[in-house]
Amino acid sequence: MNARLARVPLDARRVDAIECVVSVLLAITLAHWTGARNVSWAAFSGYMVMRGHVSETMLRGLLRIVGTSVGAALALALVPWATRGPATMSLALAAVTLPTLYAALTAKRAYAWLFVAATFAMIVLDAAEHSGAALRALVATRVLEVAVGTLACVLVSLASTLTLRRWWPAAAAARAVRQPWHPDAWRHAAQGSVAVALLPWIAQAVDVPEIAQGAVTILAVMMVPLTGLRAGGLRPVSARLGQRVLGCVAGAGYAGVVLLLHVSTGVLMLAVAAGVAAGRLAENGWRAQSYVGTQFVLAVLVTLVPDRIEQAAVAPALARLAGIAVGLAVLEPVLVAWHLLSRRDAGARPGDVPATGPGGP
């Protein structure tokens, strides 16, 4: 039996890619079947929750669902007040983003906290952009999208754990630990909250479709290791931001070619599967540049997974990618300005040594 397995062209990385492909396709199917509004978000949940053992997948999925539910409940309570204008919306976004992003950087259950922030921001900005939409429907579809993506992941992970993973097991995941009070993380979270709080003003000045994607982008690229924050977050976040741009451009280019060929639904799903597999293999193999693979998959799913399968088109995908671009364009100036102001403040008091290191406040 072992001799036969040795001839099978599989290893743990390839099994992981297979799991992700099957999970994404199942998530898409479940999302259409249940009537989810943003099918690509369900598909991305089906990608991001997947881990090498069903117990790890279930924990990650549970944290994603809990975080989404809490963020949705906060939005349900605050949206009627927050959407009165850009000032109240900005204040609400900053007030929720600051503590939740800090917890996402330092807490033991960081993944749940990240989705409290992301879900709240998505619902608030979506409610403002689509003022005629029913708030409860927006909340319900956000929870539904994450739930079906997580369900797909758990089912596929369970099947794989009982079969393929018996011969090609994944490496054990590192145990999460809670960090003590971390002033660098608090400063970093403050930078992210400022960037998110600027989005309502950008939306008022410029008609940006799918600006909620900008908030998700900001939160995602701010998730960097705490060890890189001692000298300020400009360098690690800029590197992560650059990887997000590279991955999104590559993924959008690949997906754009597929759409321009006017392929059938079946070929479209094959293209999705190939893109997911390529992105996951890159994510697992490139190490320092692994985030490029993740963003490649994001762009592929945003572009090739329409909310209605018969309406696959370039325009809706460009709208979502525009929201991502706005998030990137807002965050980098905030980081640069904060960095320059911090250096000037440190230079004005040459006798002091900033407690947070070079570039700290």
84-93, 177-186, 234-243, 322-331: which is most confident:
84-93
Average pLDDT, the chain: 84
Instruction: Give the model's confidence band at 97: pLDDT under 50 very low, under 70 low, under 90 confident, else very high.
Output: very high
Which of residues 273 and 241 earns the better pLDDT score? 273
The residue-averaged pLDDT of 187-200 equals 94
Tally of CA atoms within 13 A in the half-sphere of 24 that contains its CB? 30
- 14-46 pLDDT, tens digit per residue, is 999 999 999 999 999 999 999 888 898 899 999
In the DSSP assignment, the letter for residue 49 is T
pLDDT for the residue 344: 61
What is the per-residue pLDDT across 110-162, written as a single tens digit (0 to 9) for each? 999 999 999 999 999 988 877 766 788 888 888 999 999 999 999 999 999 99
pLDDT score for 309:
59
Instruction: Give residue 206's pLDDT band: very low, low, confident or very high (50, 70, 90).
Output: confident
pLDDT at 197: 96
pLDDT at residue number 132: 61
- Percent residues over pLDDT 70 in the chain: 87
Per-residue pLDDT, averaged over 277-303, amounts to 88
pLDDT band at 280 (very low <50, low <70, confident <90, very high): very high
pLDDT band at 352 (very low <50, low <70, confident <90, very high): very low
Rounded mean pLDDT of 57-80? 93
Residue 133: the pLDDT is 65
User: Does 349 score more than 50 pLDDT?
Assistant: no
DSSP H helical ranges for the chain: 2-6, 12-34, 39-48, 54-82, 86-106, 110-129, 135-162, 183-205, 212-221, 234-260, 265-285, 290-304, 314-348
- The confidence score (pLDDT) of residue 175 equals 73
Cα–Cα distances (Å) from 305 to 12, 105, 275, 298, 329, in that order, read: 27, 30, 12, 10, 25
Per-residue model confidence (pLDDT) at position 296: 92
Q: What is the pLDDT of residues 213-227, one digit of tens each?
A: 889 989 988 988 887
Task: Tell me the two tokens of residue 61.
Answer: 């999925």
Better-predicted residue by pLDDT, 129 or 355: 129
Residue 308 confidence (pLDDT) above 80:
no
d(CA 322, CA 330): 12
- Give the single-character DSSP code of 178: -
Domain boundaries, given as residue ranges, for the chain: 6-165+181-346
Residue 180 has pLDDT above 70, yes or no: yes
Highest mean pLDDT among 185-194, 299-308, 336-345: 185-194
Q: What is the pLDDT of residue 127?
A: 85
The whole-number pLDDT of residue 335 equals 86
DSSP assignment of 198-224: HHHHHHHHS--TTTHHHHHHHHHHT--
- Give yes or no for residue 307 having a pLDDT over 60: yes
Read off the pLDDT band of 337 (50, 70, 90): confident
Q: Mean pLDDT, to the nearest integer, of 295-315?
A: 76
